[in-house]
Chain A
Amino acid sequence: MATVPLDSSPPVARWDDALVQLYELHYDHLVRLAYLVSGQAGQAEEIVQDAFVRTHQAWAKVRDPLPYLRTTVVNGCRSLGRRQQLERERRPRAPEPVGLGADELWDALATLSDRQRAAIVLRFYCDLPDHDIAAILGCRQATVRTSVHRGLARLRKEIDR
C-alpha cells in the first residue's frame, strides 16, 4: 500500500501562533484606535482585549483577522457608548455643559455621532479606504463618505463656535 511519507517528529507549534503574532503586531495600534473612537482611555485596553478574545473564539469563522479585529474594536466602542447611554437614561441627571478645552478639536470630536466619529478616526488615523471603513461600520461606502463629510463639517462648526 502506497502512503504519503510519514513525519513523526513532534509538533512544534500550536495554532494560536497566528493570533499571538497579530496581538504583538497590532495591539498598540488597536488600543489607540479604541481610545480615539470611544474617547475613553480607561476602557480602550479592555475593549481590545475583548476583541482578541472574541477573535480567538471566532477563529474558525474569521477570514481576515485584522479587519475582523478592527471591526470588533469599533463595535466594542459603540457598544460601550450604547451601554453608557442606557445607564444615563436609567439614572437621569443633569447634562454636563459641553465646552471646548485646550484641545478643542479633540473635544469637538466628542460631539459627533458614533458613526461619524468612527469614520473620522478610521479615515484619518487608520488611513483606511472607504471600502474598508464601510466593511467595519457595516454600511455602504457612500455612507462612509457622508459620515466623514458631515463629521468634518460638524468639527469645523464646533471649533468655530
Chain B
Amino acid sequence: MTPTTDTSDTDFEAEVRAMLTRRAGDVSPSPASGRHVTAVADRGLSPAPAARRTVRRTSRPARPLLVAALVVVVCGSALAVRSSVPGADDTTVTGEPDGEVTFPAPGTDGWDPATAPPVWPVVGEAALAQLPDDPHAEIGALATPERAAAAYLDDVSILLAPDPAGLVLSPDRRTAQIPWDGRDGGAGDPPVPTGSVFLRAVGEGTGALWVVVGAVTADANLEDVRVDDGTLGVTIALTPSPGTSVSVRVGIDGQFVPVRGELLPQGAAPDPSSGELVRLSDDGRARVTVGVKPGEQADILVRLVGGDFLTVTHMAIEVPVPADPSTAAPSDPESGEPGADPGGQADDAAAPAGDPLPTPAGPLDGTGVLALDAGRGSAVEVAQAYLDDRLPERADGLGLDDGRSTQGTIPGGGAIVVIPWRIEPVEDAFGHVASDNPPLADRYSGEVQLRQIDGGWAVVAATTDQIALRDVRREGTSVTLTIDRLDDAAIDLIDLAVFDLDGNPVGEPTSAPLGVPGTYSIDLGAGVAPDAALTVRARHVGGTWFSLTEVRVPPAGA
C-alpha cells in the first residue's frame, strides 16, 4: 500500500516546514554575478573563489575536447601541411573592388576542402593551436575520416549518420568526402535527407587527424557568403520547401550570436547550440547577417528542423585582415583582384614546417596489453567480457556502443579495434527518462581499445572521455599519475587503484575528488618488483560504477 500523508500529521509537517525555513536562514549566500559564472565557465575556470577544475566551453561539443591533444600535437605540422598541399590556392576568397570579400560555399566551384578552415572540432585554423593537451586522444575520434564524420554528425544531430561505404578519398589521401543520411526513416515517413561531410587530414602518417571542413545538404545551400564593411551575410536557399523554417546558428570566435530569428527550442529555455529559427521566404530563401571584425572566425550552421535536426549544412570563414599595403600580394594582372588567400590564412602559408609528428602511444606501439581473454571471441565479445569484469555493478545503461566501433591496422601487421562505451538513457517503467538525471545518462563516455594478438583480441586500455590520466609511472614503491582534465563536479570522487594482470589489487587504493586536477600517488607496499605488470584503474564511484579508465603502468625506469 502506498502511504499517504495523513491529516493527523499536519501539525508535525508544519513543524518540519518551520524548521526548514528557519534553518535555511543559516546560510547567507554571497553570489558572484551570474555573468561571472558564465564567463568563468567559458574561460574554463571554476566559479568558486579557489579555482579548482577545468570546465569545457558550452559552445564546444564534447568530442572535440576528447581529441584536443592530437590537434595540438599536429597543429604545427598542420600549417606545414597546408602550405604544401597541392592546389592549396584552389579555394578562392575573392576580393571585390569596393572591399567586399566573398567566400565559396562547401561543394561549390572555388571551394577547396584541402584549404578550407575547419568547422569541427574547432572553427578556424588559429583555434587548432589553442586546444588543450589530451593524452587520451591517440586513436580518438579524429583518427579516420569515417570516425571524425561520425563524431561530427553526432554532435550536430543525433539523427544523422555517415555512410562509410561511400567514403571518397582524394588521390593524395589528404581530403575526404563521406555521404550522410538520416536514420530510421520508417515506413510511411518522408524520404530521409542526404548530404555529405567534407574532411581534410592534418598531420602525416599514422598520426594524421581528420577535421571536418564543411557539410552540405542536398537542396539546402549557402549562397552569396560575403563580408562587407564589417557584416557577414549569407543567403540560405532551400528547395523545394517554400514557407518552411531552418535553424541557423552563427558562431563568432566560439560565441553564438543572434541572427534575429526565433529562439530554439520553442516553448523552452533558449538553447545556444540549437540556433534560431529563421523563416524562409516563399521562394525558400533567407539572408542572415551578423557583425564581424577582421581576424574573427565564423561558422555558419544551417539545419532543417523536424523534431530534431534533419540536415546539416556547415561552413567556416575567417574574416580577412586588411593587408598591409607594403606587403600586399600583387594583384592578379588579368582580373585586377587581390591575390588569392587560401582559407583566409595567407599568412600561414609562409609558416615554417613543423617537426615530424610523433607516433601516438598506446595500441600502436605494442605496449600496454592487459591480460584478459585474449584469443576468445570477437573483439566486441572480449570488450563486453572486459566491461563485465571491471564494472560488474555498473550504472544502468552503461554499455558498449559497438555500432560505432572502428578498426585499424597497425603498421607491421595486426589490427586494433576501438569500441566506444557510453551511458545510454534508460527509461523506467514509470516513464522517467534517466537522461533527465544529470549524473547518469550521457555523463560519461569512453572507449575500450583492443588489439589483435595471435589471432585473438586483448583489451589494451579503457578510456573515459571526461577523466584523463597522464604521466602514469612507478616511483619507488608507488604509482603516481596526474589527472589533468576533468569536466565533472568537484564534489564527486574517483577511485584510484592498482591491479596486477590477474585483476588482484596491489597496494592501497586512494581517492581523488573529481574536479581537482593534480598528481596522486598509490602506495604499492613492499615486495612489488619494479618490472611487475600492473594496471591502474580510475573509476567514478557512486551507488554503482559510472566510468572506467584503465591503463598499464610502465615498469620503473621506463
Q: Which residues of A contact B (CB under 8 A)?
A: 1-4, 6-8, 10-16, 18-24, 27-28, 31-32, 35-36, 41, 43-50, 52-54, 56-65, 68, 71-72, 75-76, 79-80, 82-83, 86-87, 90, 103, 105-106, 109, 120-121, 124-125, 134-135, 138-142, 145-146, 148-150, 152, 155-156
Contact = CB atoms under 8 A, between A and B. Distances in A.
Interface of B: 2-5, 9, 12-13, 15-17, 19-21, 23-27, 29-31, 33-35, 37-42, 46-48, 55-56, 58, 231, 233, 235, 255-258, 260, 265, 268-274, 278-283, 285-287, 289-291, 428, 430, 432, 434-440, 442, 487, 489-493, 495, 509-511, 513, 515, 541-543
B511 A86 contact: yes
A150 B3 CA distance: 9
12 contacts: A2-B281, A8-B231, A20-B34, A23-B33, A60-B274, A79-B493, A82-B543, A87-B511, A105-B15, A106-B23, A121-B20, A124-B16
B119 to A, nearest CB: 17
Contacts of A36: 20, 23-24
Given A23-B34, A28-B29, A62-B269, 15 more contacts: A7-B260, A12-B258, A15-B256, A20-B35, A22-B34, A23-B31, A32-B27, A50-B491, A52-B47, A53-B41, A60-B274, A79-B489, A106-B19, A140-B428, A149-B3
A6 B23 contact: no
B105 to A, nearest CB: 16
Given A8-B289, A86-B541, A140 B432 contact: yes
A153 B55 CA distance: 42
A138 B148 CA distance: 34
Contacts of A83: 491-493, 511, 513
B23 A16 contact: no
Contacts of B21: 125
A75 B46 CA distance: 19
Contacts of A53: 37, 40-41, 46-47, 55
Contacts of A45: 27, 29-31, 48
Contacts of B493: 79, 82-83, 86
Contacts of A140: 428, 430, 432
B268 A64 contact: yes
A3 B56 CA distance: 38
A4 B37 contact: no
Nearest to B437: A138
A31 B286 contact: no
Contacts of B543: 82
Nearest to A106: B23
A4 B38 contact: no
B438 A58 contact: yes
A67 to B, nearest CB: 8
Nearest to A105: B19
Nearest to A155: B16
Contact of B38 (A20, A61, A71, A149): A20
Given A45-B30, A82-B493, A145-B2, A4 B17 contact: no
Contact of B281 (A4, A10, A31, A124): A4
A149 to B, nearest CB: 4
Given A11-B258, A82-B542, A121-B20, A46 B270 contact: no
A7 B278 CA distance: 13
Contacts of B9: 152
A3 B541 contact: no
B278 A4 contact: yes
A145 to B, nearest CB: 6
A17 B268 CA distance: 14
A62 B271 contact: yes
Nearest to B439: A75
B473 to A, nearest CB: 23
Contact of B17 (A8, A54, A124): A124
A77 B135 CA distance: 31
A27 B29 contact: yes
B438 A68 contact: yes
- Nearest first, the 5 closest Cβ-Cβ pairs linking A and B are A23-B34, A20-B34, A15-B272, A60-B273, A149-B3
Contacts of B255: 14
B16 A35 contact: no
A4 B491 contact: no
A21 B34 contact: yes
A35 B270 CA distance: 29
A154 to B, nearest CB: 11
A47 B47 CA distance: 11
A57 B438 CA distance: 11
Contacts of B511: 83, 86-87, 90
A52 to B, nearest CB: 5
A71 B436 contact: yes
Contacts of A20: 33-35, 37-38
Contacts of B55: 53, 57
A24 B34 contact: yes
A74 to B, nearest CB: 10
Given A13-B258, A27-B34, A146-B3, A63 B265 contact: yes
Contacts of A15: 256, 270, 272
A28 B442 contact: no
